[in-house]
C-alpha cells in the first residue's frame, strides 16, 4: 500500500493535470498551485485569491533542466545562481519562452521560476512533471499562510485540495532576482540575502521599490510590489527606537486607546515591558529566523482576536532582517513611528 505522502502526490498531480487548484507546503510559505502552462488553470488562481491579473505568478519546478524549455536563455549569472541556491528559496526571472502563457506572467515577456527544496513540494512537482504556477495560498492582501490551517481559513470552498505538510520552515516568501538587466537586481528580499548573492555573482542591485522609498509614479518591476500586502485586518503601526522608549510609547498608546483593544508585537527580550493590551512574542531579537518563522502566524492570530489596533516593535534591516522588515512595512502600509529620531 502507498504511504500518505505518495497518495498526496498522486492526488495533487491528478488535480493539476485536470486544470484544478491544489495548495502545498514549500520551505517559504504555502503555495496555491495550478498547471503553469494552462491559461485557464492560472485564471482560477487569480479568481480564488482575488488577485489582480497583472500580478504575475512564479513557476515551480522539480529539476533544473526544466528551466531550459521555459525560457529564451539562461545567462552566466543565472547558471551560477541556480547552481549555488537551487533547490531553495530563490526565484529567478528570465525572458520567457513562447510555451509560457501570458496568463501566468501577467502579460510580461519574462517568467519567474523557482525550484523549492521542501521534500514534499519536490515530490509533488516530480510526480506531476509540469511547471506549477504557485503564488502564496492566501486571499490577496492577507498575511501569507505558513500552516495548512492558514490555507484552510482563506481557501476553504475555493480550491480542490490542500496538502498538509505541517508548519513551513522559513516563513517569508522567496528572494526574487531579475536576470534580464546587465547586473542581477533583487526585486523582493528573502532568506537569500544580497550578501549571499554577491559572493556568487559579484555586484547585485536592489530595486528601490523594496523598502517603500519608491516614487509612487514609478512602475515597479515586480508588479506585486505596488499592492498592499501581508496585512492583518486591524491597522498596524511600527515603532522604531530603543527598547525602553518603544515600550513606554506603546504602553501610553494602549492607555489612550481604551476601551479599544490593542495588539502588541513584542519579542522574548521585551514582552514583559508591556502593561496592557494583548502581547504576542514574535520570536527572539537575537534570532531573526525565529521572527520570520512566526511573522504571519502572529499577524493572523490578531485577526482571530479581533483587536482594533496593532503596534509592533521594529527590527534590524541587516541581512535577513531586510526581508522581515519589508513584509512588516507593507503590512503596516508604511506606517512607522521613529522615536529618538534626530
Ligand atoms: P507571490 O507568488 O504572491 O509571492 O508573488 C509573486 C511575486 O513575484 C510578485 O510580487 C510578482 O510581482 C513577482 N513576479 C513574478 N513574475 C515576475 C516577472 N516576470 N517579473 C517581475 N516580477 C515577477
Ligand atoms: Mg503572495
Ligand 2 geometric centre to CA of 31 (Å): 9
Residue 169 exposed, middle or buried by CB count within 10 Å (0-12, 13-18, 19+): middle
Ligand 1 atom closest to 111 (CA): 19
CA distances from 251 to 102, 160, 183, 276, 322 (A): 50, 45, 46, 7, 27
Cβ–ligand 1 distance for 93 under 6 Å, the answer: yes
Cβ–ligand 1 distance for 100 under 6 Å, the answer: no
Q: What is the DSSP letter of 63?
A: S
Query: In this predicted model, which residue has the larger pLDDT, 30 or 333?
Result: 30
- Phi and psi angles of residue 292, each rounded to the nearest 5 degrees, phi first: -60, -45
| Whether residue 265 has pLDDT greater than 50 | yes
pLDDT of residue 340: 78
Say how far residue 333 (Cα) sits from the centre of its chain. Answer: 16
| Whether residue 26 has pLDDT greater than 90 | yes
| Whether residue 227 has pLDDT greater than 80 | no
pLDDT of residue 216: 47
Average pLDDT over the chain reads 93
Name the pLDDT band for 52 (thresholds 50, 70, 90): confident
Q: What value does the mean pLDDT take over residues 10-25?
A: 98
| Strand ranges (E), the chain | 22-24, 31-35, 58-60, 90-95, 110-114, 132-133, 161-162, 175-178, 185-188, 205-206, 236-240, 262-266, 278-281, 309-313, 336-338
Name the pLDDT band for 226 (thresholds 50, 70, 90): low
For 19, what's the count of Cα atoms within 13 Å in the CB-facing half-sphere?
A: 6
Cell of 251: 504602553
Taking the C-alpha atoms of residue 327 and residue 319, their distance in angstroms, rounded to an integer, is 14
pLDDT of residue 83: 98
Tens-digit pLDDT profile for residues 103-158: 999 999 999 999 999 999 999 999 999 999 999 999 999 999 999 999 999 999 99
> Contact 182/77 with Cβ under 8 angstroms?
no
- Helices then strands (H, E): number in the chain? 11, 15
pLDDT of residue 338: 94
Cell of 25: 507546503
- For a mutational test of ligand 1's pocket, the pick from 90, 106, 223, i.e. the residue with the most ligand atoms closer than 8 A to its C-beta, is 223
pLDDT of residue 53: 85
Cβ–ligand 1 distance for 49 under 6 Å, the answer: no
Residues with CB in 5 Å of ion ligand 2: 135-136
Q: Which of 7, 57, 3, 2 lies closest to 163, judged by CA?
A: 7
Query: In this predicted model, which residue has the larger pLDDT, 176 or 54?
Result: 176
Q: Is 0.85 topped by the overall pTM? A: yes
Place of cell 547586473: 183
pLDDT of residue 212: 60
Q: What value does the mean pLDDT take over residues 41-45?
A: 96
Q: What does the buried/exposed string (b/e) look like for 18-55 if buried means 16 or more CB atoms within 10 Å of the residue's CB?
A: ebbbbbbbbbbbbbbbbbbbbeebbbbbbebbebeeeb
Tens-digit pLDDT profile for residues 147-201: 999 999 999 999 999 999 999 999 999 999 999 999 999 999 999 999 999 999 9
Cell of 89: 528559496
pLDDT of residue 210: 81
| Whether residue 254 has pLDDT greater than 90 | yes
Taking the C-alpha atoms of residue 181 and residue 184, their distance in angstroms, rounded to an integer, is 6
Ligand 1 geometric centre to CA of 305 (Å): 31
Name the pLDDT band for 214 (thresholds 50, 70, 90): very low
| Whether residue 234 has pLDDT greater than 80 | yes
Tens-digit pLDDT profile for residues 289-324: 999 999 999 999 999 998 999 999 999 999 999 999
| Whether residue 228 has pLDDT greater than 70 | no
Amino acid at each position: 500500500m502507498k504511504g500518505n505522502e505518495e497518495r498526496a502526490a498522486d492526488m495533487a498531480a491528478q488535480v493539476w493535470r485536470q486544470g484544478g487548484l491544489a495548495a502545498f507546503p514549500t520551505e517559504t510559505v504555502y503555495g496555491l498551485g495550478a498547471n503553469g502552462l494552462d491559461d485557464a488553470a492560472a485564471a482560477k488562481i487569480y479568481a480564488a485569491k482575488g488577485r489582480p491579473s497583472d500580478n504575475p505568478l512564479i513557476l515551480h519546478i522539480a529539476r533544473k533542466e526544466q528551466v531550459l524549455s521555459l525560457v529564451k536563455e539562461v545567462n552566466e549569472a543565472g547558471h551560477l545562481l541556480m547552481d549555488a541556491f537551487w533547490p531553495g528559496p530563490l526565484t529567478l526571472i528570465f525572458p520567457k519562452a513562447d510555451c509560457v502563457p501570458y496568463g501566468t506572467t501577467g502579460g510580461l515577456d519574462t517568467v519567474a521560476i523557482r525550484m523549492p527544496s521542501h521534500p514534499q513540494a519536490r515530490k509533488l512537482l516530480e510526480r506531476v512533471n509540469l511547471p506549477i504556477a504557485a503564488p502564496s495560498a492566501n486571499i490577496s492582501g492577507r498575511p501569507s499562510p505558513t500552516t495548512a490551517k492558514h490555507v484552510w481559513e482563506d481557501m476553504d470552498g475555493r480550491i480542490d485540495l490542500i496538502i498538509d505538510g505541517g508548519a513551513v520552515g522559513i516563513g517569508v516568501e522567496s528572494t526574487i532576482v531579475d536576470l534580464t538587466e546587465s547586473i542581477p537586481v533583487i526585486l523582493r528580499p528573502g532568506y537569500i540575502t544580497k550578501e549571499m548573492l554577491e559572493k556568487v555573482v559579484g555586484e547585485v542591485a536592489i530595486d528601490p521599490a523594496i523598502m517603500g522609498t519608491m516614487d509612487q509614479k514609478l512602475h515597479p518591476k515586480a508588479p506585486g510590489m505596488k499592492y498592499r500586502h501581508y496585512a492583518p485586518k486591524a491597522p498596524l503601526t511600527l515603532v522604531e527606537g530603543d527598547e525602553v522608549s518603544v515600550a513606554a510609547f506603546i504602553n501610553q498608546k494602549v492607555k489612550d486607546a481604551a476601551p479599544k483593544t490593542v495588539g502588541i508585537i513584542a519579542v522574548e527580550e521585551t514582552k514583559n515591558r508591556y502593561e496592557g493590551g494583548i502581547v504576542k512574542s514574535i520570536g527572539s531579537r537575537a534570532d531573526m529566523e525565529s521572527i520570520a518563522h512566526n511573522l504571519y502566524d502572529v499577524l493572523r492570530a490578531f485577526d482571530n482576536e479581533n483587536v482594533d489596533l496593532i503596534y509592533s516593535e521594529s527590527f534590524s534591516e541587516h541581512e535577513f532582517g531586510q526581508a522581515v522588515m519589508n513584509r512588516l512595512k507593507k503590512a503596516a502600509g508604511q506606517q512607522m513611528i521613529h522615536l529618538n529620531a534626530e
